[in-house]
């Protein structure tokens, strides 16, 4: 039986991936360039007996999905830069309460209203450091519709596995580019189900006590187990506590469950990396340009390679360091002022050999743009 092939925007690929992963509740507020996600789900979710609600703003949207997730639903919201900023307090609440959810940010130019209909990758650091306090976060991205589908499913899987919000950082070009999507059959891609507690009704239930494998089973809020949910630091029952030993253990748990599983969380795509003398590192739609350059130059006999990052946070520093070890020069291709550039420089042994090829004016970075940067850097020792 042939697989179904459709011609869709990246935003629709995200919708189809979310439904494949078992999305049961979506709350959101329209904002360019993510609006198509909400529009499509307003029609598609009711068809699968899911729930869609348009909230009055992005803060309430984030709060709504946290509440729905606690009752046992797989949940998602979608927004862009200004809306993502508004969500930060509630995103921190989801981190503290260890509530699985997926937050899609289809990036546009900023700050403030900025360039609402133009591409940017300026929210990378906001995804990592937007909420206050010490915490860890998972942020994923993709460069084409096929990968958007798969990485959306993966976002739900990681949210459920680590009981944490997962940020899906797309961008305007990825969200609005129409291209072929081959839809996988049911069961072809692994889907992680919500881990339910096996504690019987009437037995003491510890909602924040990890198992030996680190996972935290959940009980649907309003179900057979009574438990407390608070944004305050809390004990294993969920009740507020300011005892130093309990706070210390909780804060380390929130960070360690992600930072110690970097290898499990990391997703990358590699093109001609092994023998690359000049290695490009990129992500999102900018990686499409980088890949075009690599393939074109390879055909001319030049040893270029591409490391496409699909996991931005936790940053895969060890993997980046290993892949860059044999390259003479590294060029980070991104559409911001160097947000991943700094992480690469911190990861590699020779940060002076890392250069930036970027664009920040709302225009899509083209092969000519990158090649111009390469020519400029050649005068600096390349």
pLDDT digits (tens, 9 = 90+) for 256-309: 999 999 999 999 999 999 999 999 999 999 999 999 999 999 999 999 999 999
Q: Is pLDDT above 80 for 377?
A: no
Kindly report the CATH number assigned to the domain that includes residue 112: 3.40.50.970
Q: What would the mean pLDDT of 42-68 be, rounded to a whole number?
A: 97
State percent of the chain over pLDDT 70: 99
Range of the structural domain that residue 309 is part of: 270-378
Contacts of 232 (CB under 8 A, 6+ apart): 96, 240, 241
Which of 241, 265, 289 terminates a domain? The answer is 265
- Residues 296, 222 share a domain: no
Q: What would the mean pLDDT of 14-26 be, rounded to a whole number?
A: 98
φ and ψ of 260, to 5 deg: -85, 0
- Residues 130, 12 share a domain: yes
Q: What would the mean pLDDT of 137-150 be, rounded to a whole number?
A: 98
Q: What does the pLDDT read at residue 382?
A: 45
- Residues 295, 248 share a domain: no
As a whole number of angstroms, the distance between CA 182 and CA 188 comes to 12
As a whole number of angstroms, the distance between CA 71 and CA 215 comes to 18
pLDDT digits (tens, 9 = 90+) for 295-352: 999 999 999 999 999 999 999 999 999 999 999 999 999 999 999 999 999 999 999 9
- Residues 189, 296 share a domain: no
Q: What is the mean pLDDT of the chain?
A: 95
Handedness of CA 276, 280, 286, 289 (dihedral sign): negative
Q: What does the pLDDT read at residue 213?
A: 83
pLDDT digits (tens, 9 = 90+) for 156-203: 999 999 999 999 999 999 999 999 999 999 999 999 999 999 999 888
Q: What does the pLDDT read at residue 378?
A: 61
Structural domains of the chain, count: 2
pLDDT digits (tens, 9 = 90+) for 236-269: 999 999 999 999 999 999 999 999 999 999 999 9
Contacts of 343 (CB under 8 A, 6+ apart): 315, 317, 320
Kindly report the CATH number assigned to the domain that includes residue 369: 3.40.50.920
Instruction: Read off the pTM.
Output: 0.96
Which of 265, 289, 319 terminates a domain? The answer is 265
- Residues 162, 45 share a domain: yes
The answer to whether 136 and 167 have CB atoms below 8 angstroms apart is no
Banded pLDDT at 74 (limits 50, 70, 90) = very high
CA distances from 39 to 8, 67, 70 (A): 14, 22, 25
């Amino acid at each position: 039986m042939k697989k179904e092939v459709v011609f869709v925007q990246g935003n629709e690929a995200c919708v189809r991936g979310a439904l494949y992963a078992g999305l049961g509740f979506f709350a959101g507020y329209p904002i360019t360039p993510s609006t198509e996600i909400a529009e499509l789900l307003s029609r598609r979710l009711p068809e699968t007996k899911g729930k869609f609600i348009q909230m009055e703003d992005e803060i309430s949207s984030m709060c709504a999905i946290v509440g729905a997730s606690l009752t046992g639903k797989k949940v998602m919201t979608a927004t862009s830069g200004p809306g993502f900023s508004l969500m930060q307090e509630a995103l921190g609440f989801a981190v503290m309460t260890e509530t699985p959810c997926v937050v899609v940010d289809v990036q546009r130019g900023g700050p403030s209203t900025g360039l609402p209909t133009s591409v940017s990758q300026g929210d990378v650091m906001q995804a990592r450091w937007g909420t206050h306090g010490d915490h860890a976060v998972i942020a994923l991205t993709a460069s084409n519709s096929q990968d958007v589908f798969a990485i959306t499913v993966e976002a739900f899987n990681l949210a459920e596995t680590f009981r944490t919000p997962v940020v899906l950082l797309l961008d305007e070009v990825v969200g609005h580019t129409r291209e072929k999507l081959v839809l996988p059959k049911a069961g072809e891609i692994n889907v992680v189900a919500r881990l339910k507690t096996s504690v019987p009704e009437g037995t003491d239930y510890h909602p924040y006590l990890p198992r030996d494998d680190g996972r935290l089973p959940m009980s649907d809020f309003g179900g057979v187990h009574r438990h407390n949910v608070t944004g305050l630091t809390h004990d294993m029952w969920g009740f507020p506590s300011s005892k130093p030993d309990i706070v210390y253990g909780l804060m380390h748990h929130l960070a360690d469950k992600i930072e110690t599983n970097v290898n499990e969380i990391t997703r990358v795509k590699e093109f001609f990396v092994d023998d690359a003398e000049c290695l490009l590192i990129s992500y999102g739609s900018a990686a499409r340009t980088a890949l075009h350059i690599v393939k074109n130059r390879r055909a001319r006999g030049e040893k270029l390679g591409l490391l496409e990052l699909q996991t931005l946070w936790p940053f895969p520093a060890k993997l980046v360091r290993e892949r860059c070890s044999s390259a003479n020069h590294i060029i980070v291709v991104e559409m911001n002022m160097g947000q991943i550039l700094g992480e690469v420089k911190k990861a590699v042994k020779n940060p002076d050999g890392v250069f930036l090829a970027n664009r920040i004016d709302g225009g899509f970075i083209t092969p000519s743009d990158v090649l111009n940067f390469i020519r400029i850097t050649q005068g600096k020792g390349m």
